[in-house]
């Protein structure tokens, strides 16, 4: 019932965003035409429209009650924008590129919005129907952030009964390039979410209704100290998981932990899938775990590197330790990838519980998670009732993010895949950095060290590759000149070579 209501709300939000995007600015009592550098103060009941084509570089201060501001689609705002009352409303169809942003009121973004910091104060509502690309996000008492478009941020901090609703159902709907700190409130997502840092759960509710693979990807640790966390899609945590008082519910989902699982207190519960339970895998289990600590019920427990952790006596009677059928193919009890910087490689490791007529394993790799290439093969044990351990070394790791999977093939040709594993590998050239700027149709790349050859992609905020080229950098700089002029907006520039990988944002005027 709750999931049906949440889906209905998502559809309603998308319908509202489609209607509002068609309206544009109208009913103005005051009209300002750009370009303009003058400051703007908006008083009680003013209905202000900024129109034309060009830049508004002055500061905007909305201090009156029941006033509105509409920004046209060809307008670029670079000055500060301030809202100081909950009766104020801003509707943006253009481009806003500013420094720190703090507001109290209602803001509807149908265009592009970027800022260094982003803060919603008491009772505020910000609805993003376009592109929201900001630094640190902070949601304070009773504020709400709704996302129907694309959202990228650095650290994301929720406090005092704030609410985040992501209605975008895409697999890459939300990117948090840092930590997510849920101190209070409700974090709801209908799409995939990637957190490159840690998940800090100190209160509130986290709900994911996205059922695709890797619904929640966490590059660091998950520290679940209090609150409720529920997901219907698989969780992939590269680091450790500390369950220290929170309640974690796997609603037909699996959880893959790259590090150690520390179930100190709280609960981990599988709600019951078609096979009767959900699956979790981990590198190691806290060696002092006792069933009187955290409650673990209705799950399959799989483990690739610590056989003692699958001892049934350590768990509730509802926990099985056989094969994790809902998360993993029957042949596997665990698999993982590890960056081995000492030997300049990525290690792929896996284990099987038992094998019958198993022929070999194929290790595959992808740069995008969709198109895979074969790295190599490992001969299987064939027939065994014992746990078997395997590994394969990728001696040519991809700098940045890469995706791995294992294909197990039987003697008769039948096969099964593992889930996709995400692995990050840092730059090999110590201290190397790339800087990006745009001027008069040219994208300028600058480096502080010699990086040699590489591949460059320019990607729109909608995810479309608008330019790609193989380049050779001389004298630490390179100028990119796309065949077609880039439309004004925010773009992502990716550089990838055998030794380096960067992703940078650039604004084109």
pLDDT at residue 32, as a whole number: 94
Same domain, 414 and 443: no
pLDDT at residue 318, as a whole number: 59
Same domain, 366 and 419: yes
Within a domain: 385: yes
pLDDT at residue 272, as a whole number: 52
Query: Does an H or E element contain 407, and which?
Result: strand 400-410
Within a domain: 74: no
pLDDT at residue 118, as a whole number: 96
**Closest to 250 (Cα-Cα) out of 223, 281, 225, 220:** 281
Name every residue whose Cβ is closer than 8 Å to that of residue 428 and which is 6 or more positions away in sequence.
344, 399, 499, 500
Same domain, 441 and 497: yes
Same domain, 406 and 444: no
Within a domain: 340: yes
Same domain, 388 and 467: no
Q: Is the overall model pTM greater than 0.85, yes or no? A: no
Q: Is 109 exposed, middle or buried (0-12, 13-18, 19+ CB in 10 A)?
A: buried
pLDDT at residue 292, as a whole number: 72
Within a domain: 10: no
Query: Does an H or E element contain 226, and which?
Result: strand 222-231
What is the residue whose two structure tokens read 């799409």?
191
The last residue of one of the domains, among 391, 425, 459, is 425
Same domain, 397 and 440: no
* Triad 164, 168, 173: Cα angle to 5°: 85
Same domain, 439 and 383: no
Structure token pair of residue 228: 């409720």
Same domain, 417 and 439: no
**Within a 13 Å sphere around the CA of 99, how many CA atoms are in the beta-carbon half?**
6
DSSP letter (8 states) at residue 426: -
Please tell me the total count of domains within the chain.
Answer: 2
The last residue of one of the domains, among 425, 453, 478, is 425
* Tens digits of pLDDT across the chain (509 residues): 334 434 444 434 433 333 333 347 888 999 999 999 889 999 999 999 999 999 999 999 998 889 999 999 999 999 999 988 889 999 999 999 999 999 999 999 999 999 999 999 999 999 999 999 999 999 999 999 999 999 999 999 999 889 999 999 887 889 999 999 999 899 999 998 999 999 999 988 999 998 876 789 898 999 999 999 999 888 888 888 999 999 999 887 778 787 888 888 999 888 754 344 466 777 677 766 676 788 888 776 764 444 444 554 555 555 655 443 333 333 465 677 887 877 888 899 887 766 777 889 999 998 877 678 999 999 988 877 667 889 999 998 887 778 888 888 888 777 777 777 777 776 655 567 788 898 877 898 988 877 778 888 888 765 678 898 888 887 788 889 888 888 888 787 888 776 666 767 788 88
CA 263 to chain centre: 25
Q: What is the CATH number of the domain that holds 339?
A: 2.60.40.10
* Triad 213, 219, 225: Cα angle to 5°: 95
pLDDT at residue 451, as a whole number: 75
Q: What is the CATH number of the domain that holds 500?
A: 2.60.40.3080
The last residue of one of the domains, among 425, 457, 488, is 425
Taking the CB of residue 412, how many other CB atoms lie within 10 A of it?
A: 8
Alpha carbons 37 and 366: distance in angstroms, whole number: 48
What is the residue whose two structure tokens read 């009941």?
45
Same domain, 477 and 503: yes
Within a domain: 108: no
pLDDT at residue 114, as a whole number: 93
265 has which bridge partners?
A: 244
Domain that holds residue 483: 434-508
Same domain, 444 and 480: yes
Within a domain: 486: yes
Q: What is the tens place of the pLDDT at every residue in 447-489?
A: 887 777 888 888 876 567 889 888 888 778 888 988 888 888 8
CB 337 within 8 A of CB 347: yes
pLDDT at residue 350, as a whole number: 82
Same domain, 413 and 462: no
Alpha-carbon separation of residue 135 from 106, 112, 117, 165, 340 (angstroms) = 20, 14, 5, 18, 31
* Triad 229, 200, 505: Cα angle to 5°: 110
pLDDT at residue 1, as a whole number: 36
Within a domain: 244: no
pLDDT at residue 295, as a whole number: 84
Query: What number of residues does the chain have?
Result: 509
Within a domain: 195: no
Same domain, 467 and 415: no
């Amino acid at each position: 019932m709750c999931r049906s209501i949440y889906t209905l709300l998502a559809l309603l939000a998308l319908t509202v965003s489609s209607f509002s995007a068609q309206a544009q600015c109208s009913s103005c009592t005051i009209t300002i035409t750009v370009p303009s550098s003058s400051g703007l103060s908006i008083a009680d009941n003013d209905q202000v429209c900024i129109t034309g084509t060009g830049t508004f570089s002055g500061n905007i201060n909305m201090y009156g009650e029941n006033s509105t501001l509409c920004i046209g689609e060809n307008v670029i705002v670079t000055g500060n924008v301030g809202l100081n009352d909950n009766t104020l409303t801003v509707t943006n169809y253009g481009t806003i590129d500013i420094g720190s942003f703090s507001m109290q009121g209602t803001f509807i973004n149908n265009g592009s919005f970027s800022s260094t910091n982003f803060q919603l104060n008491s009772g505020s509502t910000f609805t993003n129907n376009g592109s929201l690309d900001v630094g640190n996000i902070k949601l304070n008492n009773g504020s709400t952030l709704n996302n129907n478009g694309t959202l990228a941020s650095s650290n994301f901090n929720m406090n005092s009964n704030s609410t985040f609703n992501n209605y975008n159902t895409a697999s890459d709907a939300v990117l948090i390039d840092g930590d997510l700190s849920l101190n209070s409130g409700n974090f709801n997502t209908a799409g995939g979410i990637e957190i490159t840092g840690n998940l800090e759960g100190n209160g509130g509710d986290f709900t994911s209704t996205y059922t695709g693979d890797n619904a929640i990807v966490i590059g660091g640790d998950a520290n679940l100290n209090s609150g409720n966390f529920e997901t219907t899609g698989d969780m992939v945590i590269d680091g450790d998981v500390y369950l220290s008082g929170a309640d974690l519910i796997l609603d037909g989902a699996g959880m893959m932990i790259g590090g150690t699982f520390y179930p100190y207190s709280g609960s981990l519960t599988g709600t019951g899938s078609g096979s009767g339970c959900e699956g979790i895998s981990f590198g190691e289990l806290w060696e002092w775990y006792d069933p009187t600590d955290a409650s673990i019920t209705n799950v399959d427990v799989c483990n690739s590197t610590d056989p003692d952790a699958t001892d049934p006596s350590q768990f509730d009677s509802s926990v099985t330790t056989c094969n994790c059928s809902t998360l993993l193919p029957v042949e596997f009890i665990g698999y993982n990838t590890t960056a081995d910087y000492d030997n300049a490689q990525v290690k792929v490791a896996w284990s099987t519980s038992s094998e019958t007529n198993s022929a070999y394993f194929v290790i595959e790799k992808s740069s995008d998670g969709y198109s895979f290439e074969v790295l190599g093969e490992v001969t299987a044990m064939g027939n065994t009732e014992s746990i078997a351990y395997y590994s394969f070394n990728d001696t040519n790791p991809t700098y940045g993010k890469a995706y791995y999977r294992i294909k197990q093939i039987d003697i008769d040709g039948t096969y099964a895949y593992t889930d996709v594993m995400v692995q990050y590998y840092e730059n090999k050239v110590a201290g190397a950095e790339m800087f990006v700027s745009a001027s008069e149709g040219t994208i300028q790349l600058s480096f502080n060290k010699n990086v040699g050859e590489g591949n460059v992609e320019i990607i729109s905020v909608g995810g479309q590759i608008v330019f790609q080229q193989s380049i050779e950098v001389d004298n630490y700089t390179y100028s990119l000149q796309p065949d077609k002029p880039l439309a004004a907006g925010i773009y992502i520039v990716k550089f990838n070579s055998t030794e380096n990988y960067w992703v940078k944002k650039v604004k084109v005027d």
